[in-house]
Amino acid sequence: MTTATRPQLHYLAEEIEQLKAKHLYFRLRVLEGEQKPIATFDGREVINLSSNNYLGLTTHRALRRAAIEATRRYGVGSGAVRTIAGTMKIHMELEEQIARFKGTEACVVFQSGFAANAGTVAAILGKDDLIISDRLNHASIIDGARLSKATIRIYEHKDLADCERICQETRDWPGRKLLITDGVFSMDGDIAPLPQLCELAERYHCIMMVDDAHASGVLGRGGRGTVDHFNCHGRVDIQVGTLSKAIGALGGYVCGSRELIEYLYHRARPFLFSTSHPPSVTATCQAAFTLLDSAEGERLIRKLWSNTKFFKRGLQKLGFNTGMSETPITPVIVGDAARAFEFSRRLFDAGVFAQAVGYPTVPEGQARIRTIVTAAHKRSDLERALDILARVGREMELIH
Ligand SMILES: *Cc1c(COP(=O)(O)O)cnc(C)c1O
């Protein structure tokens, strides 16, 4: 028997009505088959510009083989949290492999990038401490900051003068201080000014933390992230990455000193209280990092960037507003949420899947569709997508 909503939850229906009135209500698009550049969502084959599958690894043969082999050898689950009986040999091997890849002493893997950020920030800081955070940092950083009970000060997006003003005002802060930024911002596709932020962290004695969810596998040598891209080695105390985007599977990780990782083993709550990855996921990630360091990985990253440049230039030539983007994430900013959602819907009907995002994911009045090209897109896919974007954009008078 299914349970109908009891009166206690009726207020949720009103909330949903309000979302509909603001044109922020959506249905989930359902993917049939594999996550690929041409994919079938809701029964319609479309050019897929909405996944974070930067290198096309979600369906890569070597990764698939690794997952199947690990399942055959070790089963489907780990059976416990890491601190009880759920640390398998391959979990330790993956952490060592990532630490080597990043050039740090140690690494801890979490169940997701979200858990890595939220678990780490909440574990290393307490109520007497201070967090200095970019306005557009990811929700998982914001939640971690709130869970830590530390004081949170927000600087305007990438605004170094504003960041320094806050550093100045809090220079005699008695507790610990954390300066934290996304490496690549997930809704705008722009890159943090990492060297200058490191300088501020050094000058004002802050712990420096960067969330490279969208930079891992994308920026730096072999996709090592923004720290490598800017040659900031040794200046960032805590590097977060995800295994769910370019790596193609699921998970998150934190890289840093041996002490940091040992502390997180003892204090990061998602690590302590949530079961570890199944062997298939861990083995998939091992295969992905091996691939990143090969000639094929290099070729995929080069293709990702040549596709990015081609597509971004195409959008700009058509007259679309692509905001501040410098990476494969390219927003097309529309402004009004209703129009952004309509644009996305009409594109979908015409054969292009580019998800619309509105408040609270982006600030009010900056609704947009968000496009991401991958290394797996063919040039002809991108040309066709640009043709469709041009036609629908003109029909809606977004461009002329
Ligand atoms: C996607 C994302 C995360 C979360 O990663 P998951 O592995 O999907 O949980 C964290 N930070 C940023 C900036 C992201 O874009």
Please tell me the predicted confidence (pLDDT) of residue 22: 81
Q: What's the gap in Å between 15 CA and the centre of ligand 1? A: 27
Two tokens, residue 197 = 């932020």
Please tell me the predicted confidence (pLDDT) of residue 359: 85
Please tell me the predicted confidence (pLDDT) of residue 23: 78
* pTM (predicted TM-score): 0.96
CATH of domain 21-50+295-395: 3.90.1150.10
With residue 347 as reference, give the H or E element that holds it.
helix 337-350
Please tell me the predicted confidence (pLDDT) of residue 1: 59
Q: Which atom of ligand 1 is nearest to the CA of 185?
A: 13
* 220 pLDDT above the threshold of 80: yes
Please tell me the predicted confidence (pLDDT) of residue 18: 93
Please tell me the predicted confidence (pLDDT) of residue 393: 98
**Alpha helix segments (H runs only) across 130-238:** 139-148, 160-169, 194-203, 226-229
Topology of domain 60-292, CATH: Aspartate Aminotransferase; domain 2 (3.40.640)
Stretch 131-138: mean pLDDT, rounded? 97
Phi and psi at residue 125, to the nearest 5°: -125, 160
60-292: same fold as 21-50+295-395? no
Q: Where are the domains of the chain?
A: 21-50+295-395, 60-292
- At 182-209, the pLDDT tens digits run 999 999 999 999 999 999 999 999 999 9
Task: Clarify whether 186 is annotated catalytic.
Answer: yes
* 121 pLDDT above the threshold of 90: yes
Two tokens, residue 273 = 């209280």
CA distances for 207 relative to 178, 180, 252, angstroms: 5, 8, 20
Q: Tell me the pLDDT of the chain averaged across its residues.
A: 96
Task: Clarify whether 133 is annotated catalytic.
Answer: no
Task: Find the Cα–Cα–Cα–Cα dihedral 39, 187, 101, 89, rounded to 10°.
Answer: -70
CA distance 83 to 86: 7
- At 287-340, the pLDDT tens digits run 999 999 999 999 999 999 999 999 999 999 999 999 999 999 999 999 999 999
Q: Which atom of ligand 1 is nearest to the CA of 184?
A: 13
Q: What's the gap in Å between 319 CA and the centre of ligand 1? A: 30
Ligand 1 pocket check for 140: Cβ under 6 Å: yes
Q: What's the gap in Å between 187 CA and the centre of ligand 1? A: 11
Q: Which of 140, 144, 258, 256 is closest to 208 using CA atoms?
A: 256
* 2 pLDDT above the threshold of 90: no
Minimum CA distance residue for ligand 1 atom 5: 113
Minimum CA distance residue for ligand 1 atom 15: 186
Q: Which atom of ligand 1 is nearest to the CA of 52?
A: 1
Task: Clarify whether 303 is annotated catalytic.
Answer: no
Ligand 1 pocket check for 244: Cβ under 6 Å: yes
* 3 pLDDT above the threshold of 80: no
Q: Which of 147, 220, 221, 232 is closest to 181 using CA atoms?
A: 232
Q: Is the peptide bond before 360 cis (omega within 30 degrees of 0)?
A: yes
Q: What's the gap in Å between 240 CA and the centre of ligand 1? A: 9
Q: What's the gap in Å between 243 CA and the centre of ligand 1? A: 9
Q: Which of 214, 229, 303, 377 is catalytic?
A: 214
Q: Which atom of ligand 1 is nearest to the CA of 186?
A: 15
- Percentage of the chain beyond pLDDT 90 is 94
Ligand 1 pocket check for 111: Cβ under 6 Å: no
Q: Which of 51, 186, 325, 344 is catalytic?
A: 186
Task: Find the Cα–Cα–Cα–Cα dihedral 49, 55, 56, 59, rounded to 10°.
Answer: -150
- At 84-99, the pLDDT tens digits run 999 999 999 999 999 9
- At 30-78, the pLDDT tens digits run 999 999 999 999 999 999 999 999 999 999 999 999 999 999 999 999 9
Exposed/middle/buried for 234, CB within 10 Å: 0-12, 13-18, 19+?
Answer: exposed
Strands 31-32 and 38-41: antiparallel
* 5 pLDDT above the threshold of 90: no
Q: What's the gap in Å between 186 CA and the centre of ligand 1? A: 8
Minimum CA distance residue for ligand 1 atom 6: 113
Ligand 1 pocket check for 134: Cβ under 6 Å: no
The per-residue DSSP string of 37-100 comes to SEEEETTEEEEE-----TTSGGG-HHHHHHHHHHHHHH-S---SBTTTT---HHHHHHHHHHHH
